[in-house]
């Protein structure tokens, strides 16, 4: 079956990516959502920039694994994108990212880090990738563990 990619899990290439991968014990250091109808336009929460729209470079595209949610409807995905777009300009959540080092509980606070934004956006449309884990505690690699997603070919 050919499912539309919707979630991009990025494999880091620099020091920050390496540190996130090491600390979270994952090959992934970043998560974003594909804008419908595009192959390289994403919405993401990025350090130093907050929530933004971004066009991926060819180099960035080479370091992404794409995932789909086979049971997600087009309407649900559009609602999740709308939620994410409403967060544009919101600040990056450095304190919650630090939680991955300190292991202290995190909570929603109006700021976002990458995988928190992806998980919460999908949750807002009724798709909870990981039922018992709050969005503020989900690392990029944890998204790949959801039984609701499947790895797919690039868009």
| Reported pTM | 0.89
Domain boundaries, the chain: 7-152
Q: Kindly tell me if the per-residue pLDDT of 12 is higher than 50.
A: yes
What was the pLDDT predicted at 26? 76
Q: Which CATH architecture has domain 7-152?
A: Alpha-Beta Complex (3.90)
- List Cβ neighbours of 112 (8 Å cut-off, separation of 6 or more): 45, 50, 51, 87, 90, 91, 92, 93, 120
The three-class DSSP label of residue 26 is: coil
**How far is residue 66 from each of residues 40, 84, 92, 105, measured CA to CA in Å?**
11, 18, 23, 29
Q: Is the pLDDT of residue 100 over 80?
A: no
């Amino acid at each position: 079956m050919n499912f539309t990619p919707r979630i991009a899990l990025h494999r880091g290439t620099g020091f920050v990516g390496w540190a996130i991968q090491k600390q979270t014990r994952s090959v992934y250091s970043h998560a974003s959502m594909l804008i419908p109808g595009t192959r390289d336009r994403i919405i993401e929460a990025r350090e130093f920039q907050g929530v933004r729209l971004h066009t991926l470079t060819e180099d960035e595209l080479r370091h992404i694994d794409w995932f789909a949610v086979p049971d997600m409807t087009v309407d649900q995905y559009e609602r999740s994108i709308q939620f994410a777009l409403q967060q544009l300009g919101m600040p990056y959540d450095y304190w919650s990212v630090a939680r991955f080092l300190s292991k202290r509980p995190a909570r929603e606070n109006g700021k976002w880090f990458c995988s928190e934004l992806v998980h919460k956006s999908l949750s807002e449309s009724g798709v909870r990738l990981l039922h018992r884990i709050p969005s503020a505690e989900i690392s990029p690699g944890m998204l790949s563990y959801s039984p609701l997603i499947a790895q797919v070919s690039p868009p």
